[in-house]
Amino acid sequence: MARILVSSRSFGQVAPIGNRILEEAGHDVERVGPESRPLDAAKLSRIVGDASPHCLLAGAEPIPREVLAASSALRMVQKHGVGVDNIDLDAATELGIAVANAPATNTDAVADLTVGFMLALLRSIVPAASSTRAGEWKRFVGRELGASTVGIIGTGQIGRSVIRRLSGFRPRLLAFDVYEDAALSEQEGFAYVPLDQLLQQSDLVTLHVPLMAATRGMISEERLRLMKPTAFLINIARGELVDEEALAKALASGDLAGAAVDVFATEPPQSSPLLTLDNVIATPHIGAYTCEAMETMATRCAETVVAVLAGHLPDNVLNREALSADGLTAP
The secondary structure of 152-195 as a DSSP string is: EE--SHHHHHHHHHHTTT--EEEEE-SS--HHHHHHHT-EE--H
How far apart CA 251 and CA 47 sit, in angstroms, is: 41
Known catalytic membership, residue 267: yes
- The catalytically annotated residue of 123, 267, 295, 320 is 267
3-state secondary structure at position 130:
helix
Known catalytic membership, residue 285: yes
How far apart CA 58 and CA 147 sit, in angstroms, is: 42
Alpha-carbon torsion (285, 192, 231, 223), positive or negative: positive
The amino acid at residue 283 is T
3-state secondary structure at position 100:
strand
- The catalytically annotated residue of 9, 27, 160, 285 is 285
In terms of Cα–Cα distance, which of 2, 212, 272 is closest to 87? 212
- The catalytically annotated residue of 54, 160, 238, 300 is 238
Q: At what angle do helices 291-309 and 17-24 cross, to 10 degrees?
A: 20
Q: At what angle do helices 291-309 and 107-122 cross, to 10 degrees?
A: 150
Q: Which residues are catalytic?
A: 238, 267, 285
